[in-house]
């Protein structure tokens, strides 16, 4: 029984790790999506108004078509820095591990699928609009540069592949529930068994 308990705990930790690194530089923190670029943070909001009017996505885009990404600068210093946004075609989907966030210089040097050249955004908001006409896998890069500093964030994503299985938002609650259930069963089985002995006359 202890072996089963240990296996469930390991699965729960893997679920947590997968959720943390599923988007590379883009992470789901509570009900908000955050894009981390070095020490700086941007709020990340994705929409597909033609197909999912009210739904906001944080990583993969479920359908092809017009897609809008809005970056709101949490750190005001970003308003004084240039921001470059580029998307590169990829052959494979995201790994769902820590490696998704590792910058690949050779990949970054490739001709981008589309790019928004580096510029300042004094308002603190950057809006990207792009039509994805075919499904595929991509890697997004955000490059911020200021005086004597440069930071790069990498986040892979897919377009046109509807998510299957358990939604990411439910993975942790389900894992916690399973761990609690296993603990309760394990503790119940540890209780001493009391045999009803028949008294002799």
50 or 117, which is more confident: 117
State the helix-helix crossing angle for 168-190 and 2-21, rounded to 10 degrees: 160
Residue 197 near residue 100, CB atoms below 8 Å: no
* Residue 175 pLDDT: 67
Domain 24-168 fold is Immunoglobulin-like (2.60.40)
Confidence of residue 176 (pLDDT cuts 50, 70, 90): confident
* Residue 104 pLDDT: 94
Strand partners, 83: 119, 144
Please spell the DSSP secondary structure of 121-180, one letter per residue.
Answer: -TTSEEEEEEEE-S-EEEEEEEEEEETTEEEEEEEEEEES----SS-HHHHHHHHHHHHH
Please spell the DSSP secondary structure of 60-115, one letter per residue.
Answer: -BSSSEEEEEEEEESSGGGGGSEEEEEEEEESS---SSGGGGS--HHHHTSPPSEE
Q: Strand 82-90 vs strand 52-57: parallel, antiparallel, or unpaired?
A: unpaired
Q: What is the pTM of this model?
A: 0.69
Is the dihedral angle over the CA atoms 165, 90, 130, 25 positive or is it negative?
Answer: positive
Beta-carbon contacts of residue 111 (< 8 Å; ≥ 6 apart): none
Most confident by average pLDDT, 2-11, 131-140, 171-180: 131-140
195 or 135, which is more confident: 135
Computed over every residue of the chain, the mean pLDDT equals: 80
Is the dihedral angle over the CA atoms 23, 27, 32, 37 positive or is it negative?
Answer: negative
Say how many residues make up the chain: 201
pLDDT in tens, 108-157: 999 999 999 999 999 999 999 999 999 999 999 999 999 899 999 999 99
**Residue 91 predicted with pLDDT over 70:** yes
* Residue 16 pLDDT: 39
Closest CA to 123 of 68, 83, 69: 83
**Residue 14 predicted with pLDDT over 90:** no
Of the given ranges (94-103, 116-125, 167-176), which has the lowest mean pLDDT?
167-176
* Residue 60 pLDDT: 84
The helix (H) or strand (E) run that includes residue 23 is none
Confidence of residue 97 (pLDDT cuts 50, 70, 90): confident
Residue 59 near residue 22, CB atoms below 8 Å: yes
Most confident by average pLDDT, 60-74, 77-91, 185-199: 77-91
* Residue 18 pLDDT: 36
**Residue 30 predicted with pLDDT over 70:** no
């Amino acid at each position: 029984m202890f072996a089963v308990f240990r296996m469930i705990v390991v699965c729960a930790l893997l679920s947590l790790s997968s959720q943390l690194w599923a988007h590379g530089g883009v992470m789901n923190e509570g009900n908000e999506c955050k894009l981390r670029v070095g020490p700086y943070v941007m709020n990340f909001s994705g929409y597909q108004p033609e197909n999912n009017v009210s739904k906001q996505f944080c990583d993969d885009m479920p359908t092809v078509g017009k897609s809008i990404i809005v970056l709101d600068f949490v750190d005001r210093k970003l308003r004084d820095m240039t921001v470059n946004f580029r998307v590169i075609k990829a052959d494979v989907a995201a790994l769902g591990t820590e490696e998704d966030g590792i910058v690949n210089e050779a990949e970054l040097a490739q001709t981008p699928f589309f790019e928004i050249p580096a510029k300042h955004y004094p308002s603190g908001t950057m809006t990207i609009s792009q039509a994805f006409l075919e499904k595929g896998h991509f890697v997004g890069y955000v490059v911020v540069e200021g005086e004597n500093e440069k930071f790069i964030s990498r986040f892979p994503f897919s377009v046109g592949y509807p998510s299957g299985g358990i939604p990411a938002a439910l993975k942790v609650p389900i894992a916690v529930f399973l761990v609690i259930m296993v603990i309760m069963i394990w503790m119940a089985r540890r209780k001493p068994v009391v045999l009803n002995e028949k008294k002799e006359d």
